[in-house]
Amino acid sequence: MKVILKQDVENVGRKGDIVNVAPGFGRNYLIPRKMGIEVTPSNMRMVGIERQVLKKKVEQERLSFQDLIQKLNQVTISFTRKAGEKDHIFGSVSAADIKDELDKLGFDIDKKKIVLDEPLKRLGNYDVPVKVFHDDKAEIKVAIVKEEEKNEPTV
């Protein structure tokens, strides 16, 4: 059964896509929940018009996010952590830590959009990608530096 998706459906397709699904899935799930409509000539014309409007809207959103991407590309965040031998830090720097620092700088970025395969556990400089809009990404620079140990004199 061919269905035109009215909204993004995970593992099926995006809004406006024409997808081939099992008849039961289309009739019993997608159509009753208004997530899709059956393919007919009149629905095809309607979707064609909606696609043009959606394409213009997406392009305008992409342009508005370009400014944010440029600002994020210039951001450098520094973390000071205690480190042991071989530059391993005690603890780690996670996406939540990066999000907190971005919040302090005035950026409202969801931590799920900060792409870290695993938390950073070594001293050094890293380029961390941030998903801003669909496939558009910015890269922020993260520096992890060693905390200087304070040697206090004993009396």
Domains detected in the chain: 2-61 (3.40.5.10), 69-146 (3.10.430.100)
- Burial bucket for residue 84 (CB in 10 Å: 0-12, 13-18, 19+): exposed
Question: How much is the average pLDDT of 108-114?
Answer: 86
Longest dimension (CA), the chain: 90
- Pairing of the two strands 120-122 and 88-93: antiparallel
Percent above pLDDT 70 for the chain:
95
Query: Residues 90, 96, 102, CA angle at the centre, nearest 5°?
Result: 110
Question: How much is the average pLDDT of 58-83?
Answer: 86
Examine the pLDDT at 152 and tell me if it is beyond 70. Answer: no
- The amino acid present at 148, given as its one-letter code, is E
Q: What is the Cα–Cα distance from 24 to 115, expressed in whole angstroms?
A: 37
